[in-house]
Amino acid sequence: MDTITTETLGERSDIMAITKPTSWRIGTVVSILSEAPGLRSYTFRFEDKVQHDAGQHYEIRLTAEDGYQAARLYSAAMPANGTSNTLQLTLALMPSGEVSPYIFSDVNVGDQLEIRGPFGGHFVWNSTIRRPILLVGGGTGIIPLRAIRLSHQQCCADEDIQLLYSVKSYDDMAYKYELFPRNGTPADDITITFTGPPPKGWKGHTGRINETMLEQALYSFSTPPITYVCGPTPMVESITQMLVRIGQDEDDIKAERFGPAS
Amino acid sequence: MALINFGFKAPRERDDRVPPGQSVVTGWPVLTYGPTLKVDTATWSLEINGSVKKPITLTWESFNALPKTTLTTDIHCVTRWSRLGMRWDGVLLDELIRQAGGLMTDAHYVIASSYGGYTTNLPVVDVINGQAMIATDADGQPLSSEHGGPARFFVPHLYFWKSAKYVNKLTFVDRDHPGFWEINGYHNHGDPWREERYNGDY
């Protein structure tokens, strides 16, 4: 780890050099949390501190013995404000992919992976954005939105935020322990809709996110929010079009699309 | 020297057309930072201005009356997918520059601007001599709005964020002006064979 010594107002302070995002760093797996079938959160520890804006992503690179390399992008699942050496990435298993099947089957706690980042300067949130926030996610699109929600809670808990999350079933839900504790209902800022069979006794929304749900969320704010939409491409397409139709300014919508389309 | 991930192996068949760090897809992923735009060809226009001898604005009709070219090639997205052997139809930049009376001597960069406000910057040497077009069709179909239709910039030898969707203006300038992704952490040039992915890669 490099350190730079600077003179600040006559006082000596050691400021850690921020590692270049493009430099590959070695992260040691310190925990693997099973979130849902085919969805796991990997926490890595680095030698130096980790800092990113919520919504940013990292690359994991694998290298074979013959030198062949493959890398994939993964969103940070938790905020990192530069005080800790850990990074959490939530990975979805792509059964025919190159990177996630190896990680799911061969990487255990204590193993090391090459990681670099953070990247992405648009689908991000930080505390300089003084606007109410509407988060709309489907499936694994919840990953960067969860980081945004946690980051927002850390700095600006008294400001308005709403999360609208569409997921197939309770079993498929990521971060259940946080978004939907087993014995309760979602937190006040969270609306969930189940696109498949809902849990027993569920009285909330079912089916895909529709215009009514979006209208309820969008107009619950006293001033227009910035909306972050993340999920599979067809879902993001339909939601961003609906948002524009119900009156949201296109410039206030940030979108991130996952997965292939035709 | 990279860390070795024992047990990780290269796929059996590697294609020489695939740049380092890319994987082949057969579908066509969509990446746009905001809502998909619906651009109407009735009001569509394409402006070629800046350091050209005769700035022009083309309507959909006048644009489509220009000679079209077919370019069959591969496309590479910085998010690590490549799509091989796609057929693209459109009007070469060389033809559009000719329509605009040719370039002035101080035309060193081109800034592509799109409906919706997206911009991207490229050196002129990357867009002339049959390397770039304004494309209207991919694989024989008119470009859908998800993929940037009715017309998108097409510069296949650079990462695909350079191929601006919904393009409506090409401005030739003497000095470089980094565009939307270029100021948001991505590489200023974007050559997939050199893996110029992010600002700071080479």
Cβ pair B117:A251 closer than 8 A = yes
Q: What is the pLDDT of residue A19?
A: 72
Q: Is the Cα dihedral B77, A126, A164, A154 positive or negative?
A: positive
CB A197: neighbour CB atoms within 10 A? 12
Identify the H or E element spanning A79. none
Taking only the tens place, the pLDDT of each residue in B148-181 is 999 999 999 999 999 999 999 999 999 999 999 9
* 8 Å CB contact between A114 and A38: no
pLDDT at A109: 92
Asked if B200 and A233 come within 8 Å (Cβ–Cβ), the reply is no
Which residues of B fall within a CB distance of 8 Å from A65? 4, 6
Q: Are the C-beta atoms of A144 and A75 separated by less than 8 Å?
A: yes
Q: Which tokens is A258 given? A: 């996952």
Output b/e per residue, A142-169; b: 16+ Cβ within 10 A. Answer: bbbbbbbbebbeeeeeeebbbbbbbbee
> Chain A: nearest CA to B190, how far in angstroms?
14
Query: What is the mean predicted confidence (pLDDT) over B170-198?
Result: 95
Asked if B35 and A243 come within 8 Å (Cβ–Cβ), the reply is yes
Cis previous bond, B142, omega within 30: no
Alpha-carbon dihedral angle through residues A105, A110, A112, A115, given to the nearest 10 degrees:
90
**Distance from C-alpha of A115 to C-alpha of A81, rounded to nearest angstrom:** 18
Portion of chain B with pLDDT greater than 90, in percent: 84
Question: Which DSSP helix (H) or strand (E) runs through A232?
Answer: strand A226-232
Q: Spell out the residues 6+ positions from residue A227 whose beta carbon is closer than 8 angstroms to its own.
A: A133, A134, A135, A136, A218, A243, A248, A252, A253, A254
Q: How far apart are CA B65 and CA B91, in angstroms?
A: 10
For residue B102, how many other CB atoms are within 10 A of its CB?
11
Angle between helix A233-245 and helix A211-218 axes, rounded to 10 deg: 60
With beta carbons less than 8 A apart as the criterion, state whether B96 and B37 touch: no
Facing residue for B185 by CB, picked from A26, A69, A119: A119
- pLDDT over 60 at B47, yes or no: yes
Q: Across the A/B interface, how many CB contacts are shorter than 8 Å? A: 111
- Each residue's pLDDT expressed in tens, for chain A with a length of 262 residues: 333 333 333 333 333 445 789 999 999 999 999 999 999 999 999 999 999 999 999 999 999 999 999 999 999 999 999 999 999 999 999 988 899 999 999 999 999 999 999 999 899 999 999 899 999 999 999 999 999 999 999 888 778 999 999 999 999 999 988 888 766 678 889 999 999 999 888 999 999 999 999 999 999 999 999 999 999 989 999 999 999 999 999 999 999 988 653 3
ipTM surpassing 0.85, yes or no? no
How far from chain centre, in Å, is Cα A36? 15
- Residue A184: the pLDDT is 64
B5 and A63 within 8 Å at the Cβ level: the answer is yes
Question: Which residues of A fall within a CB distance of 8 Å from B197?
Answer: 22
Which listed CATH number (3.90.420.10, 1.10.3470.10, 3.40.30.10, 3.40.50.1820) goes with B45-194? 3.90.420.10
When CB atoms are compared, the residue of B80, B181, B201 closest to A73 is B80
Question: CB count, 10 Å around CB of A252?
Answer: 15
Q: Which domains are assigned to chain A?
A: 20-117 (2.40.30.10), 133-258 (3.40.50.80)
What pLDDT shows up at residue A1?
A: 34
Q: How far is the alpha carbon of A240 from chain B, nearest alpha carbon, in Å?
A: 5
The CA R_g of chain A, rounded to the nearest whole Å, is: 19
Measured in angstroms, the CA of B84 and the nearest CA of chain A are apart by 14
Interchain pair B23, A98: CB under 8 A: yes
Tens of pLDDT, residues B58-69: 999 999 999 999
Give yes or no for residue B72 having a pLDDT over 60. Answer: yes
Tell me what the pLDDT averaged over chain B comes to: 94
Choose among A72, A98, A120: nearest Cβ to B11: A98
How far apart are the CA of A21 and the nearest CA of chain B, in angstroms? 8
Burial (Cβ within 10 Å: 0-12, 13-18, ≥19) of residue B140: exposed
Confidence of residue B93 (pLDDT cuts 50, 70, 90): very high
Contacts of residue A160, defined as CB under 8 A and 6 or more positions apart, other chains included, come to: A132, A133, A220, A221, A222, A225
State the pLDDT at residue A262: 32
Distance, CA of A30 to CA of A44 (rounded, Å): 6
Q: Cβ of A257 and B29 within 8 Å?
A: yes
